[in-house]
Structure 1
Amino acid sequence: MRTVEGGCHCGLVRFEADVPDGPVTVEECDCSICAMTGYQHLIVPAARFRLTEGRRDTTTYRFGSGTAQHIFCTQCGIKSFYRPKSRPDAYSINYRCLDDGHGLDATVRPIAAA
């Protein structure tokens, strides 16, 4: 495992996650919110995700079934991670919000919205 870090655009919200050392798959979903924001999903089990800064600087948006928790920075509006409907035991990290130099060997795989 390796620890990666990332956060929102303004830096108020920061996180870290433990991910496999080997190649990882990043999913690019075609649902309306992911397509509009360019979100790329790096899924990690909830036990391997830690919000390190900004708990008070986030707000949650829900739509459709209301199950997914889309978590945004209240200052810059960036969704650097969220709790997906399809994987309630995990977090989806926006691969594009990882700090430079993370060193992950990632393959992007398109997926269709459920």
Structure 2
Amino acid sequence: MNMDINAINGACHCGGVRFHVRLSNGLHSARRCNCSYCRMRGAVAVSAELADFRLLEGEALLTVYRFNTGSARHYFCSRCGIYTHHQRRSNPDQYGVNAACLEGVSPFDFAEVPVSDGISHPKDNPGGSGSRQAGVLRFIPS
């Protein structure tokens, strides 16, 4: 897997939502989060600036989910249910993009994925030390 991928296309499972994205730091920004929503969603996300994400098809299919403070916007396809991207609460100028939606990328391609501590979100702790890592998720093929 090329961790230095720059620009890449992506889509939801049914192909109704299609996008092109230029990643901020290739696949090196891959991470998960342990907040209540991300824990259940289970996706590996990579980073992109808002201006570097271009929706090609399926705007009418996208549905947004917000919870807690309502500041993060989690987008998913209303037809197949796949989460494609979200506008971050921690950095509203960025999207987290579902790595599994990127062409030729699987979450199982990552040997290790850092897990951000979303339970103790940095925006809930003003004056704190910022984002911290809660752990690491490993995939060890058998």
- Could you tell me the TM-score, scaled by structure 2's length? 0.70
Structure 1 unmatched runs, 5+: none
Query: Which position in structure 2 is the counterpart of 1:15?
Result: 19
Determine if the alignment matches structure 1 residue 108 to structure 2 residue 107: no
CA spacing shift, 1:101–1:58, aligned 2, 3 Å? closer
Identity fraction in percent: 38
Determine if the alignment matches structure 1 residue 53 to structure 2 residue 83: no
CA spacing shift, 1:31–1:49, aligned 2, 3 Å? same
RCO comparison, higher one (Cα < 8 Å, 6+): 1
State the alpha-carbon separation in 1 of the partners of residues 64 and 89 from structure 2: 14
Q: CA RMSD in A?
A: 2.2
SS of residue paired to 1:26 = coil
State the alpha-carbon separation in 2 of the partners of residues 23 and 29 from structure 1: 16
Which structure features the higher share of strand residues?
1
SS of residue paired to 1:25 = coil
Structure 2 unmatched runs, 5+: 122-142
Query: Which position in structure 2 is the counterpart of 1:35?
Result: 39
- Could you tell me the TM-score, scaled by structure 1's length? 0.86
CA spacing shift, 1:101–1:54, aligned 2, 3 Å? same
